[in-house]
Structure 1
């Protein structure tokens, strides 16, 4: 039985206008995220110091007055963030209880080597324990990412099947999975890959039972409103868009053209903020960014 908090989170994601902040850079992507924020690699000497630095960056974003549940529906966290606190509360509890922002948890362990033009996810041996930990902190959903580089049917089938197989395990644990089969924006076959991907996702969605609900996180498509059937599917709570390396301006523009899709940006969200800014500058920059992504998500 869903808790009162889960019911409130569900109706927020379903009915409210806004977007999802992707604050889940981990492992290999952390140094890059910190560098863009103005913290170079000589500022930390090991993983613990690196993760403390990135937690300080995320804390500054989350505690900013610009970051609130009016425009930001949810935030995706990395496991290390889940294990840390913000102003004396667990990060997930702080997000929901203080900001009314729905917490999600990134659960994948990274990508396997490329095969058939795609990268499936590495095995997740401790997934059940991680889902139990997420539930204990009132986390609403999860996120896991695969990558598609070419319009290869075998590769795309493998990615989508794995995503939905693990997605069902996540649903069984009482959480809502964000299924993310990213199509590389630099793929020479991007539109063709998207066409195959849509067919495979629809086949998997149609095989779900009525109470199995997922979210989808997809690359902004080459053709506007290409994913309308997915947006309107009864088993899909929300379709969110990744920025995938597009500038914020281009990501927002593409998002505006795709009705019913909302943003779940990572790098495009933190573009322009830095550790060197005063709180006033930082909050003003973040506020303008959040407003632009919010407006693009309203279409």
Structure 2
């Protein structure tokens, strides 16, 4: 019995010493690791905080025909390449590389445009209280189609007669601060040998010029990007010398069930708008930034609001990236309406709410004015929607005004009918339409509307 007890005690002692030995070995291992880590602590700390090299991520130039087959496996690289191909930029990274392998430094603060003070004065004058813009920058083809509707040939002399009718309207400056011209109109003379810009200055409204050169297809089917950056600086100098003091560039985006607008289309058009804006400011022209989301489609007003807000936010980011001078630019957005094929309508108050609240979430208060496009609304709809905005949002940080083309011209063109004896009556109607929108820009429009036409909607409208 004693022998059995002794053996049991011996086994217990062996187990106890085994456990103690194991603990000692583990403690020794931990100590060794700590010693090694301690000896290399300085090196590790330095390595941990050493910044990545400050260099630009490489950009591979791609042709736009590659885009459709490129896929979306690497969306960040796709966006850089798309912007590079569309804008013909060099060494420009639209969005940072967040992998840590290569970081892009923040650009230094730039000097303002040499025309900075003049830009602010011009922008404020265009967006003056109760005044807006006459958009008569339609291409030769587009104005020709309208002339043909009243039986007038698409010839230069008739195009000039039409514009001269508008520009010589007595007291038009009561509600029109400025007009956007097509290049053909900026340089030739009117019928009596007087340059159009001189007629405009005599009537105390500011000449502007459309500077984009149209759109081309890219990205998804039906999506486009606006062109015209090449040689823009030289053209802007020429326009300024001729008397233009502001410019316009239209980017067009659409909504459809296939996923348009794509992020690539939004970003590329935002970048082109931003570079156009910066080039114009550096050469004396106030840029009107026009990111238009078409109202074509079956979607409701909520979808139109959502997409428009995303487009505007991307555009503001791009403008900030190029250091735009906010006080020396104007925004020309679409109003928020239900899709034309949705079968739905919206009251002026609904349009006003969705439109202005979206802008309050995206547009800096430093911008002096918003000059809305009519976008195919009838002349009366455009006026009443603008009026509702100013009635509901009297304390908006920007002037809420208009830059209407068809919504100021359709009834007047019909009244003129290409006949000289109708000029005076057509001018009176143009003044009445202008005055109605001037009152709407103050939230003071009341009573009957002078328009004599209905809907002006054209699907996939181009200038």
Q: When the two structures are superposed, what TM-score results if normalisation uses the length of structure 1?
A: 0.86
Shift of 1:264: 0.5
Quick one: higher RCO (CA 8 Å, sep 6+), 1 or 2?
1
Q: CA RMSD in A?
A: 2.5
Q: Residues 44-123 of structure 1 correspond to what in structure 2 (within 5 A)? A: 44=154, 50-67=155-172, 69-86=173-190, 87-96=192-201, 98-116=202-220, 118-123=223-228
Q: 2:365 aligns with which of 213, 233, 243?
A: 233
| CA distance in 1 between partners of 2:267 and 2:139 (Å) | 26
**Match of 2:296, SS?**
coil
| CA distance in 2 between partners of 1:168 and 1:2 (Å) | 12
| CA distance in 2 between partners of 1:279 and 1:90 (Å) | 20
Per-residue deviation, residues 262-286 of structure 1 (Å, max 9, x unmatched): 1100011112122246233212211
Between 184-193 and 212-221, the greater mean CA deviation after superposition? 184-193
Shift of 1:125: 3.3
**Match of 2:249, SS?**
strand
**Match of 1:256, SS?**
helix
Q: 2:435 aligns with which of 267, 281, 291?
A: 291
| CA distance in 1 between partners of 2:360 and 2:184 (Å) | 35
Is the Cα–Cα contact under 8 Å of residues 77 and 104 in structure 1 kept in the other structure?
yes
| CA distance in 1 between partners of 2:425 and 2:236 (Å) | 38
Shift of 1:208: 5.2
Q: Does 1:261 align with 2:371?
A: no
Shift of 1:287: 1.9
Per-residue deviation, residues 125-148 of structure 1 (Å, max 9, x unmatched): 342332122111221110011111
Is the Cα–Cα contact under 8 Å of residues 74 and 102 in structure 1 kept in the other structure?
yes
Aligned to 2:270: 160
Q: Residues 156-195 of structure 1 correspond to what in structure 2 (within 5 A)? A: 156-187=266-297, 188=299, 189-195=303-309
Is the Cα–Cα contact under 8 Å of residues 123 and 330 in structure 2 kept in the other structure?
no
| CA distance in 1 between partners of 2:439 and 2:171 (Å) | 14
Is the Cα–Cα contact under 8 Å of residues 231 and 238 in structure 1 kept in the other structure?
no
Unaligned runs of 5+ in 2: 1-113, 256-260, 338-353, 391-398, 444-463
**Match of 2:368, SS?**
strand
Aligned to 1:272: 411
Between 74-83 and 212-221, the greater mean CA deviation after superposition? 212-221
Is the Cα–Cα contact under 8 Å of residues 255 and 261 in structure 1 kept in the other structure?
yes
Per-residue deviation, residues 43-62 of structure 1 (Å, max 9, x unmatched): 24xxxxx2332121011111
| CA distance in 1 between partners of 2:287 and 2:244 (Å) | 11
Q: When the two structures are superposed, what TM-score results if normalisation uses the length of structure 2?
A: 0.57
Q: 1:138 aligns with which of 223, 230, 243?
A: 243
Aligned to 2:331: 216
Shift of 1:113: 1.5
Aligned to 1:47: none
**Match of 1:20, SS?**
strand
Shift of 1:205: 4.0
| Poorly superposed stretches of 4+, deviation over 6 Å | 3-7
Which of the two has higher C-alpha Rg?
Answer: 2
| CA distance in 2 between partners of 1:136 and 1:3 (Å) | 17
Shift of 1:294: 1.3
More strand by share: 1
Is the Cα–Cα contact under 8 Å of residues 66 and 290 in structure 1 kept in the other structure?
no
